[in-house]
Structures are given as structure tokens and as C-alpha cells.
Amino acid sequence: MLSPSTKSESASALRVRSKWRLSQTLRRTVNYRPIEADDIKYLWAAYKQGAFPDMEPDLEPDEFKEAFYSLVQAKFHAVWTLFGPTRKGLIPVGVVFAAWAPNGPFLIVTGAVWMPWASKRNIVECMVGFLNGVRKEFALQFYALPEHKRLYEVCAMHGAVRRIGTSYTAIAGKHAAMFETRAP
């Protein structure tokens, strides 16, 4: 009696297409650009809804604008506004902050703030579109805490970034997944 072949049951024989396709995810219009003064009104609205928990509470619009500009000038070398489709049109749904790595030819993304009106779909589409576009200009590296890791894993499934390991020292007291874009 012949033994049954196990080849058809092997993982290499069962090729399943990934459901993540860059062209499908970016079918809706998303955009990004360096932050501009007109974006402050959206950041102010997000601040009033709790999107900037590290900033002083109960600031007036002019105080917020001054505090935000001071923060950006003191800590960051690049700040981008991400635009996504909403019921009100293509408006800012997120902001990404980055700084040049010490003695390195790449930017380290130090944070992203999502507006309260950004849907999960907006967040995925905008981050994939941003990483896919900005990687042609700059090399990026960033760390993701476990609660944010899934977003960047989805970006990696789209081919916009790749996971390069885990850091136990980059964020004090926490382990963080490390991701990077390929150099331009």
C-alpha cells in the first residue's frame, strides 16, 4: 500500500494571498505634508477633545499655539500633517513628529497624534500612505509600544516598513517593537 503524500499539506503548497494590498488601501485619497500654520485650528480642536494629554490643560487658543510652536522647535526636526477623507472632506486626521538620529542619516519618529475624529480606517490609510511616501525622501526608524504595534504590523504587511527587532531600552521600563523604512 502506498503512503499518502504529505506534500499537498505542506505550508509551501498552501499559498494564501495576503489581504493587504497597497493599491487597495490607498484607493481613497490620503495625503501628508509638512505642518503649516493653517493646521493649528485642527490641532486646537483636537487638544480641546483630549488629543494632547501631555500639554498643559485649559490653554487658550493663543497659549496653545505658542506652547505647540515651542514644543516643536525644542524637540523635533520634522512634523507632518496627515490628511484623510472624512464627512467634512479631506482634513487633518493626524500629526507625526520626528527628529534626526544622533550621528545617523535617518529620522526617528518620536510620536504620532491622531485626532479624535479619525476613524480606524483613516489611521491605517494615512499611516500606510505616509510611510509609503516619506520613505522615498527620508529613512525612518521608530518604536511601537505593544498597544500600537498592530498598526505598524499592518504597515509592514503593505510593504511600507519592516520590523527589525525589539528594544528593551529605547522606552524606559517598556519593550517596544522596532520598525524602519528602507533608505531612499
Expressed as residue numbers, the domain containing 97 is 21-180
- Indicate whether 4 belongs to any domain: no
Mean pLDDT of the chain: 88
Query: For the chain, what is the domain count?
Result: 1
pTM, to two decimals? 0.84
- The pLDDT, as a whole number, for residue 33 is 97
Between the alpha carbon of residue 20 and those of residues 1, 23, 64, 160, the distances in Å are 44, 9, 39, 11
- Indicate whether 11 belongs to any domain: no
Residue 143 has pLDDT above 80, yes or no: yes
- Indicate whether 126 belongs to any domain: yes
Q: Taking the alpha carbons of 74, 80, 81, 82 in that order, is the dihedral positive or negative?
A: negative
Report residue 23's pLDDT band, with 50, 70 and 90 as the boundaries.
confident
- Indicate whether 12 belongs to any domain: no
Residue 73 has pLDDT above 70, yes or no: yes
- Indicate whether 9 belongs to any domain: no
- Show the DSSP H helices in the chain as ranges: 22-25, 40-48, 61-75, 120-134, 149-157
Domain at 32, CATH number: 3.40.630.30
Report residue 1's pLDDT band, with 50, 70 and 90 as the boundaries.
low
Residue 111 makes CB contacts below 8 A (sequence gap 6+) with 96, 97
Residue predicted with more confidence, 7 or 109: 109
- Indicate whether 124 belongs to any domain: yes
